[in-house]
Structure 1
Amino acid sequence: MLAAMPSRLLSSFCYLLFFLSLVAAGVESDERQILLSLKAALEKSNTNVFDSWNDTNSLCKFHGITCNSEGSVNGIELSYQKLSGVLPFDSICQLQSLEKLSLGFNFLNGKVEEDLKNCVTLWYLDLGNNIFSGPFPDISPLSQLQYLYLNQSGFTGAFPWKSLVNMAGLVQLSVGDNPFDITPFPTEVVNLKNLNWLYLSNCTLTGKIPAGIGNLTELRNLEFSDNFMSGEIPAEIGKLQKLQQLEFYNNSFSGKFPVGFGNLTSLKNFDGSMNLLEGDLSELRPLTNLVSLQLFENNLSGQIPEEFGEFKQLVNLSLYRNGLTGPIPQKIGSWAEFNFIDASENFLNGSIPPDMCSKGKMVALLLLQNKLTGEIPASYANCLTLKRFRVSNNSLSGTVPAGIWGLPKAEIIDIELNQLEGSVTSDIKNAKTLAQIYARMNRLAGEIPEEISEASKLVTIDLSENQISGKIPVGIGELKQLSTLHLQSNKLAGSIPSSLGSCNSLSDIDMAKNSLSGEIPSSLGYLPTLNSLNLSYNDISGEIPMSFTSLRLSLFDLSNNQLRGPIPQALSIQAYNGSLNGNPGLCSLDVISSFRSCSANSGMSKDVRTLIICFAIAFILLLVCLGLYLQLKQKEKDRERSLKEESWDVKSFHVLSFTEDEILDSIKQENLIGKGGSGNVYKVILSNGKELAVKHIWNTDSTGRKKSRSSSPMLAKRREKSKEFDAEVQTLSSIRHVNVVKLYCSITSEDSSLLVYEYMPNGSLWDRLHTSRKVELDWDTRYEIAVGAAKGLEYLHHGCERLVIHRDVKSSNILLDEFLKPRIADFGLAKIVQADIGKDSTHVIAGTHGYIAPEYGYTYKVNEKSDVYSFGVVLMELVTGKRPIEPEFGDNKDIVNWVCSKVQSKDGMNSVVDSRIPERYKDEAIKVLKIAILCTATLPALRPTMRSVVQMLEDADPCKLVGIVISKDGSGKVEVTDKELFKPSS
């Protein structure tokens, strides 16, 4: 064919081909440079995604890059790639054929510049779930956009709603979970008639739902939860007959469901919880395709429609805290793989539906505080998936099915305040995950089975005010996590088992009003966390154990027993007044008017006896102290000598300006600046004047001798220390952040371990707030400490290659440098969550009293939200100046309880702010206090992420902070199936 062409025409054709190849080569060269500039901007990302982005591969073989038929780049798909850095939109938007830019779920930061509006060929843009800052720019020129995802990206300021006017083709719009300026529901949105997905949750919207919402007839998903919207639900919403998901929880909507709401027959997931809705549920009867219905915390009344029992796809039903009456439809949950029901705190009557676990998938049955009657259906004894069984405060009767006690996955059994009969059966040996039993005020009888010792995860046992008889099983001492034991007002007999002294977590024991006899085990006096002990109204005899002198109890009552002998002087205090009455055999070594003197017949005067005893005790104490001092000095010399004899292995994590000898020579008594559970801390001054802090962990026994390899308990303790050391090194060696303490190196030997840190001359935040008054912390400094510490934790949770859970966040672990800038420190308890377990929690008990999240008392499970709770306590310390535990808070109360009880009014809110903070800063302090309250929410799912906490703290506009609501992971909602994870009284 070419041969038949005239020579001139053939020449022109070849020239054209040559010209086009040059143009194509030039385009590819330009696009390669653009992509390589993108790689350079993100090259610090902890990822290998850019390995294929090089000079040899064609552009279309770059990872995440797609090309059109002409070989030009038309798509960049780099979501979930751990990317960090600032995007060069000026370069990216020079890709002339770019249609798709997907960069969601990364760590991209900085501001999004106006250059983005030059990407005019885009039809898909995803910048969601990043950490950008500043406002989002006007993107009016992007008229071809069909998909726009910006949710949870850190954008602030006014969102350019008007730019949506040019995007009539938008199919999906997701801009929620960003702290935008307060604005009414944008009318521009209701004109986007092609939308099938609209996500506007948690972006500071106010006002009413516009009637124009009925224009969006293509919608499948509509969410505008966690805002400040109000008014009634417009009837026009009934036009959205394709709607499958509708969520507007946590607003202030009022009124009844409008007539026509039942037209939403395609609806599968509906959540209108935490509003002011009223009236009955009759308009919901036609919604037969519902899978999940959540309307908790409203003002709804009337009965649950009988039709709900015929909803064949329903698996989740949450209606708690309303005013609902009548029975629960008996067929409810019997059709599909039902998951949970929570209809607590209503006025429901009738019986519990029997078949909600018929498909074997139910995890929670929560019907507490109603007026239910009848028996517990026997079917739930075979519900092997059930985790939470709570039917307390009803009028249930009959025998508790035996299998309930042995449900293998149950975490809480709560049947208190009913008229239930039966006994705790031996089935409880199968309850391997059971943490809490609440069975108070029933008619339970029989004995506590010995098999209860096999329910090893038990934290709380409350069987009080029943008719339980027999002895307390000896095996109960095997419950190492047991914290609360309430057996009062029963018919128990026999002695108190001494094995209880092995339950080192016990803090609350109440066995009052039984028929217990024998002596009080001395082992109870050695319980390290015991806070409350009530053994009153029994037949206990013998003397009060001397071990009780070391207890410091908030409640102590041994009254009305048969005790005899002397009352230890440590118990002869006003706080325990009346706690020993009704024991005629007791006598007093001191002057207690209600008891006879232990030495009434002695010829020696009381004053002389007291003087002799005091001198004898003082002399003995002097000798003991002298001996201990000499022993400690010798031990310190032995250790210092031993240090220099060891063979050391040095691992450096930064460029070092010192040698190991300089460090070893400085580990001596005069340089000691602190002692902690994980080792001593020394201040080291190098020859160049630089100051360091060195944590020294000895792998020796209490005498200072090297541990024997044949002693298994010692080896276990040694391994524990070694694991703690390894945890701190593993965590800190990979961390590079200005608000996390810097680890220079580790120096290890077989029997000793050293960690060399930067030195913090201003000690800890605890010292500055509660101990030292030399440097008063003004509000500006407190605020900067809060922001800096939050950024440090944010880095641990979101900026590391793998999630790091600190597990012991507290003010004493926030150190201050010479400029009072904070550093997160002490990672001895830190947990690096491995990639293969995601965000699974760890069961290791960790933390400090007053900072520990409430879920510890429920499951002992820890995740990053536990760190958030602890940080919330720190924020409360900064604002109030109070310690986490103060006597003024009341018994069993901490700073969180105290703050929450005070902030119900503006005056109450002002009253908790530290008086040392000037009046002009009170509003700012209250803003931080509100963030602290969010962080200390009872449910972990309701606490913000540390990324959100940083954003909230940095937001200086008071109007913005008032409306901050917890952001979620992605654009989905965290479902909360129970309103409480622990008892209000605990």
Structure 2
Amino acid sequence: MSAASTSRRNLHFLTLLSLLCLAVSASDELQTLLSIKTSLQSPTADVFNSWKPTNRLCNFTGIACNPDDSVNSIDLSNQQLTGSVPFDSICQLPSLETLALGKNSFSGPISDDVKNCVRLKYLDIGNNFFSGTVPDLSSLSRLEYLYLNSSGFSGKFPWNSISNMTGLVVLSVGDNRFDRTLFPDVVVSLTKLNWLYMANCSIEGKIPPEIGNLTELVNLELSYNYMSGEIPPEISKLSKLWQLELYGNGLTGNFPVGFGNLTSLEKFDASRNYLEGDLSELRTLNKLVSLQLYKNEFSGEVPEELGHFEKLVNLSLYENKLTGSLPERLGSVSDFNLIDASENFLTGRIPPEMCKQGKMTKLLLIRNKLSGEIPSTYANCMSMTRFRVSNNSLSGEVPTGIWGLPNVDLIDIALNRLEGQITSDIGNAKSLTQIFVDNNQLSGELPPEISKATGLIAIDLSDNQFSGNIPETIGELKLLNRLHLQNNMFSGPIPDTIGNCVAFNDINMAHNSLSGEIPVSIGSLPVLNSLNLSENTLSGQIPVTLSSLRLSLLDLSNNRLTGPIPQSLSHEAYGGSFAGNNGLCSQNIKSFPRCSPGSGGSKELRLVILCVALGAIALLLSVLCMMLFSKKSQKDEERSLKEDSWDVKSFHVLSFTEDEIIDSIKEENLIGKGGSGNVYRVVLSNGKELAVKHIWNSASGDRKKSQSTSPMLKNRAGKSQEFDAEVQTLSSIRHVNVVKLYCSITGEDSSLLVYEYLPNGSLWDRLHTCRKMGLDWETRYEIAVGAAKGLEYLHHSCERPVIHRDVKSSNILLDEFLKPRIADFGLAKIVQANTSKDSTHVVAGTHGYIAPEYGYTYKVNEKSDVYSFGVVLMELVTGKRPIEPEYGDNRDIVNWASNNLKSKESVLGMVDSTIQESYKEEAIKVLRIAILCTARLPALRPTMRSVVQMLEEADPCRYVGIIVRKNGASEKEEVKDSDKA
């Protein structure tokens, strides 16, 4: 055989051997991928539909291959995957260079097997729910991109393990609860870094001068840490820097000399520090898009050069010590969006051209020393949503068009020297909810067109020179909550239509020239809390209907009223409320003459007694009927369950059948009743306990019509919507602090939701009922943190934020170890991706927990849940219910707490007496957080992410403090809260 023939045969053999090895390798990788598939859990299996043995593995969804068909990349980010990451299988793929698993719901600790993925260049496991520490990563020396941010890690971070990752371009480890540490030296040795995200990861000490070594940095984020000291001058070497975020630390000193060399900087935020000095180093940063320096101690003038920055759209400088004028041309050459320079010492005029491009939404210059007129250019700023220039020295007439801006939500020009009238243009202000013009020199009549601004909830025109009649159309403002007209020259009668404004809480018309009788319709306002009609010329009798109101303030003094004071108001506590009305009489108040028998007092008393007697009889009959119908309804319920056919949808692996559940829906297993349905405790044959909620779908249909006489069934219409809401919300949620939904069982007439059973009931039970138990402070604190984490998950970590809308202690359930679960999602709303806020036409929630804006605007967002959670925190600290008689009429725990912030002793007095003395200071820290959560203005409340941070850190220097605000006080626009949410 020739040498050439032998060579060809050897080559053929090697080719076959190579193909065989490739086939074996491909087979091994296929088996590895299928093993990975079995380890991962997904509520929707769509992502794994293509992962089949019959398909080419390079066609699997999320898989990319090298030219030789070996797996090079796995990208399963943002797929709602749960469970633990199977690194033992993943790292068997010998050519894997990219692993992207971010934005899922993985949990548990990270396996040490990750160290075997030695060829990785790209690793993203950020935005998950892992626990424990980050393992040693020193073997991953080829990494160029490392994303571990916002994934629940804690403990000590292995900084030394990244020292040999010399090619690292992106290091993102922020938003984890690592142990406190000084700025790690190893980081400043990674000179190829382009992106460094170390925000909110417990870094303390000073920013090292060696930061200047990272000359390739485009993004540097060190916010929400414990950093102190001055900004090092070496930072000026980072000439490529595009974003610099330093907010929420303890930095001091001036901007270093040379800071102006950062000429590529577009986004700069150093808010919430203790920085001082002037802003002269910023004059050359002409590429800035967003500049946020609020809550520092800067002084001097705002550089004139800012008026020539062509990209600047966001300028936030509030709460500093700035002086001089704002740049005249500020915003004139950019798509300017927002300025907040409130609470400084600024003088001069309002720059006239900030809305020149028609993009401006917020103008906030509260509490300065600005003078001159409001520029007429803002009358055409159709994009404006907030116009706040109160507490300055502005003068001249208010430009007419300001009143009718179509998107403006709030007009606040109070405490100035402004003149002019509110014009009929206000009828075009379809988005207007609040108008504050008090303490000016405005005059003229209030136009009837104000009724077309149907979203109004608060009007304050006090201390001006308004005259004429109060328009009858005021009654068309169905959402109006507060009306302050005092200290003007209004005349004529109070419109009877005022009784149509059913949301009224506060009416003040004192010190005007109003005449005629007090409208009877005022007595029908269901939530009216304060009524002041003093210092007018009102006449006639006090309407008996006022007796039905529960007022904390009533002042009808110095009018011309006559006749008897209504019996329920006729006691000494109200004596001063009627002074200066010489024609009044009373049976009980000594300072008034006694009423004669024919004056109407005795007749009124007899009428009241008759009404009370009839009401008692009606109540007794109702209770008897409910008892009878309740027994009948329970039998109807059990019979209906047996007759129905069922469809089961499981969300976890089930160890029971639908028959086992349905057979247990009987009266002896009933453990609770609520607006969403009956709840039953089910014990399975294997001993496992479950909770089952039974919800009726509707009251329509022939079969259901026959049952419609039952009062229990009349409220079942619409329950299918509640069922759909709860299933939609809970089926995709995987979190240790949110109640687990095993499955739904749907029938023609009703539906069943099968949950894990929580043996310790609700937090409400443990705090307030006969099941009350002595919860020590450590347990209360753990419940607070756990519940906060559950809400944080709903607001910030779901694909679309979930607003619970009924957060309360009875919806926080406790397991056998008293660990909390957020429950009862029958009112939950999922925020649409393309909307910034949600609304509903039903006031959902529970009295005492409902945020004030929700009660009368029907606008609801995540901040409404934050308010309700703040009430829960107050319950935990004080041991009191949200509504108690001791708070007074129409008052709740929030009012009570606010009124007890006068001294340290009064604050300590609010803490539950059963809490150990040594823990009371710790409890007060949580009370401070509760006060922040229950701020009246939603913009002032923290996000749930911030609440979790404040609760976990429990560090007094991290708290903003308790700020007492009066009407018209400065509003803090927390831009960072909304950005990071």
Mark yes or no: TM-score above 0.5. Answer: yes
Which deviates further from its counterpart, 224-233 or 811-820? 811-820
Q: CA deviation at 1:760?
A: 7.7
Q: CA deviation at 1:873?
A: 2.5
Which deviates further from its counterpart, 715-724 or 281-290? 715-724
Aligned residue runs from structure 1 range 503-542, under 5 A: 503-542=501-540
> What does the per-residue CA deviation read over 1:511-539, in whole Å, with 9 as the maximum and x for residues that have no partner?
11111112212222121211111111111
Q: CA deviation at 1:846?
A: 3.4
> What does the per-residue CA deviation read over 1:88-107, in whole Å, with 9 as the maximum and x for residues that have no partner?
11221222111111111111
Q: Structure 1 CA distance, aligned partners of 2:935 and 2:610?
A: 53
Unaligned segments of structure 2, at least 5 residues: 651-656, 961-970, 977-981
2:739 aligned residue: 740
1:805 aligned residue: 803
Pairs aligned (count): 943
What amino acid maps onto 1:230 in structure 2?
S
2:457 aligned residue: 459
Q: Structure 2 CA distance, aligned partners of 1:822 and 1:623?
A: 45
> What does the per-residue CA deviation read over 1:88-130, in whole Å, with 9 as the maximum and x for residues that have no partner?
1122122211111111111111111222222221111111111
2:653 aligned residue: none
2:589 aligned residue: 592
Asked if structure 2 preserves the Cα contact closer than 8 Å seen for 1:693 and 1:758, the reply is: no
1:75 aligned residue: 73
Aligned residue runs from structure 1 range 187-586, under 5 A: 187-586=185-584
Aligned-pair identity (%) = 60
Q: Structure 2 CA distance, aligned partners of 1:839 and 1:28?
A: 48
1:125 aligned residue: 123
What amino acid maps onto 2:418 in structure 1?
L
When residues 791 and 212 of structure 1 are mapped into structure 2, their CA distance, relative to the original with a 3 A threshold, is closer
Q: CA deviation at 1:811?
A: 1.6
What amino acid maps onto 2:66 in structure 1?
N
Q: Structure 2 CA distance, aligned partners of 1:842 and 1:747?
A: 29
Q: Structure 1 CA distance, aligned partners of 2:752 and 2:28?
A: 54
SS at match of 2:260: helix
Unaligned segments of structure 1, at least 5 residues: 710-714, 966-975, 982-986
What amino acid maps onto 1:804 in structure 2?
V
Q: CA deviation at 1:195?
A: 1.4
Indicate whether 1:625 and 2:616 are aligned.
Answer: yes
Indicate whether 1:143 and 2:134 are aligned.
Answer: no
Aligned residue runs from structure 1 range 590-739, under 5 A: 591-599=588-596, 621-622=612-613, 625-626=616-617, 628-630=619-621, 633-634=624-625, 637=628, 644=636, 655-656=657-658, 678=675, 723=721, 727=725, 739=738
Which deviates further from its counterpart, 275-284 or 627-636? 627-636
When residues 347 and 406 of structure 1 are mapped into structure 2, their CA distance, relative to the original with a 3 A threshold, is same
Asked if structure 2 preserves the Cα contact closer than 8 Å seen for 1:406 and 1:429, the reply is: yes
Q: Structure 1 CA distance, aligned partners of 2:228 and 2:899?
A: 27
Which deviates further from its counterpart, 928-937 or 555-564? 928-937
> What does the per-residue CA deviation read over 1:276-325, in whole Å, with 9 as the maximum and x for residues that have no partner?
11111112111122121111111111111112212222111111111111
Q: Structure 2 CA distance, aligned partners of 1:94 and 1:660?
A: 47
Asked if structure 2 preserves the Cα contact closer than 8 Å seen for 1:262 and 1:285, the reply is: yes
SS at match of 2:339: strand
Asked if structure 2 preserves the Cα contact closer than 8 Å seen for 1:736 and 1:742, the reply is: no
SS at match of 2:220: strand
Q: Structure 1 CA distance, aligned partners of 2:292 and 2:43?
A: 41
Asked if structure 1 preserves the Cα contact closer than 8 Å seen for 2:939 and 2:973, the reply is: no
Q: CA deviation at 1:908?
A: 8.3
1:842 to 833, 839, 842: 839
When residues 658 and 219 of structure 1 are mapped into structure 2, their CA distance, relative to the original with a 3 A threshold, is closer
Asked if structure 1 preserves the Cα contact closer than 8 Å seen for 2:43 and 2:732, the reply is: no
1:10 aligned residue: 8
Asked if structure 1 preserves the Cα contact closer than 8 Å seen for 2:385 and 2:408, the reply is: yes
When residues 81 and 636 of structure 1 are mapped into structure 2, their CA distance, relative to the original with a 3 A threshold, is same
SS at match of 2:585: strand
What amino acid maps onto 1:313 in structure 2?
K
1:972 aligned residue: none
2:654 aligned residue: none
When residues 789 and 249 of structure 1 are mapped into structure 2, their CA distance, relative to the original with a 3 A threshold, is closer
Q: Structure 2 CA distance, aligned partners of 1:729 and 1:82?
A: 16
1:969 aligned residue: none
Q: CA deviation at 1:742?
A: 6.4
1:96 aligned residue: 94
Q: CA deviation at 1:915?
A: 2.2
Larger relative contact order (Cα-Cα within 8 Å, sequence gap ≥ 6): 1
RMSD: 4.2
SS at match of 1:461: strand
> What does the per-residue CA deviation read over 1:458-507, in whole Å, with 9 as the maximum and x for residues that have no partner?
11111111111111122221212211111111111122122222222111
Q: TM-score when scaled to structure 1? A: 0.85
Q: Structure 1 CA distance, aligned partners of 2:874 and 2:292?
A: 33
1:978 aligned residue: 973
When residues 861 and 4 of structure 1 are mapped into structure 2, their CA distance, relative to the original with a 3 A threshold, is farther
Asked if structure 2 preserves the Cα contact closer than 8 Å seen for 1:334 and 1:355, the reply is: yes
Q: CA deviation at 1:696?
A: 7.8
What amino acid maps onto 2:973 in structure 1?
D
Q: CA deviation at 1:405?
A: 0.8
Q: Structure 2 CA distance, aligned partners of 1:166 and 1:905?
A: 56
SS at match of 1:427: helix
When residues 48 and 908 of structure 1 are mapped into structure 2, their CA distance, relative to the original with a 3 A threshold, is farther
What amino acid maps onto 2:592 in structure 1?
F
Asked if structure 1 preserves the Cα contact closer than 8 Å seen for 2:661 and 2:682, the reply is: no
Q: Structure 2 CA distance, aligned partners of 1:236 and 1:795?
A: 39
> What does the per-residue CA deviation read over 1:808-858, in whole Å, with 9 as the maximum and x for residues that have no partner?
111233355787665544444322345x54764334443345433466489
1:165 to 148, 163, 177: 163
Q: Structure 1 CA distance, aligned partners of 2:182 and 2:658?
A: 57
> What does the per-residue CA deviation read over 1:417-463, in whole Å, with 9 as the maximum and x for residues that have no partner?
01111111111111111111010011111111111111111111111
Q: CA deviation at 1:352?
A: 0.7
Aligned residue runs from structure 1 range 39-58, under 5 A: 39-58=37-56
Asked if structure 1 preserves the Cα contact closer than 8 Å seen for 2:697 and 2:718, the reply is: no
> What does the per-residue CA deviation read over 1:31-55, in whole Å, with 9 as the maximum and x for residues that have no partner?
2222222211113444521111110
Asked if structure 2 preserves the Cα contact closer than 8 Å seen for 1:109 and 1:133, the reply is: yes
1:968 aligned residue: none
Asked if structure 1 preserves the Cα contact closer than 8 Å seen for 2:677 and 2:693, the reply is: no
Q: CA deviation at 1:979?
A: 5.0
Asked if structure 1 preserves the Cα contact closer than 8 Å seen for 2:407 and 2:429, the reply is: yes
SS at match of 2:443: coil
SS at match of 2:379: helix
Aligned residue runs from structure 1 range 816-895, under 5 A: 822=820, 824-834=822-832, 837=834, 840-844=837-841, 845-853=843-851, 856=854, 860-884=858-882, 895=893
Q: CA deviation at 1:133?
A: 0.9
SS at match of 2:49: helix
> What does the per-residue CA deviation read over 1:338-375, in whole Å, with 9 as the maximum and x for residues that have no partner?
11111111111111111111101001111111111111
Q: CA deviation at 1:724?
A: 5.2
Q: CA deviation at 1:719?
A: 6.7
Q: Structure 2 CA distance, aligned partners of 1:132 and 1:203?
A: 15
Q: Structure 1 CA distance, aligned partners of 2:429 and 2:714?
A: 28
Q: Structure 2 CA distance, aligned partners of 1:865 and 1:266?
A: 36
Q: Structure 2 CA distance, aligned partners of 1:66 and 1:743?
A: 35
Q: CA deviation at 1:901?
A: 8.8
When residues 56 and 745 of structure 1 are mapped into structure 2, their CA distance, relative to the original with a 3 A threshold, is closer
When residues 592 and 673 of structure 1 are mapped into structure 2, their CA distance, relative to the original with a 3 A threshold, is farther
Q: Structure 2 CA distance, aligned partners of 1:878 and 1:53?
A: 50
SS at match of 1:420: strand
Asked if structure 1 preserves the Cα contact closer than 8 Å seen for 2:270 and 2:293, the reply is: yes
Asked if structure 1 preserves the Cα contact closer than 8 Å seen for 2:369 and 2:392, the reply is: yes
What amino acid maps onto 1:546 in structure 2?
V
When residues 939 and 140 of structure 1 are mapped into structure 2, their CA distance, relative to the original with a 3 A threshold, is farther
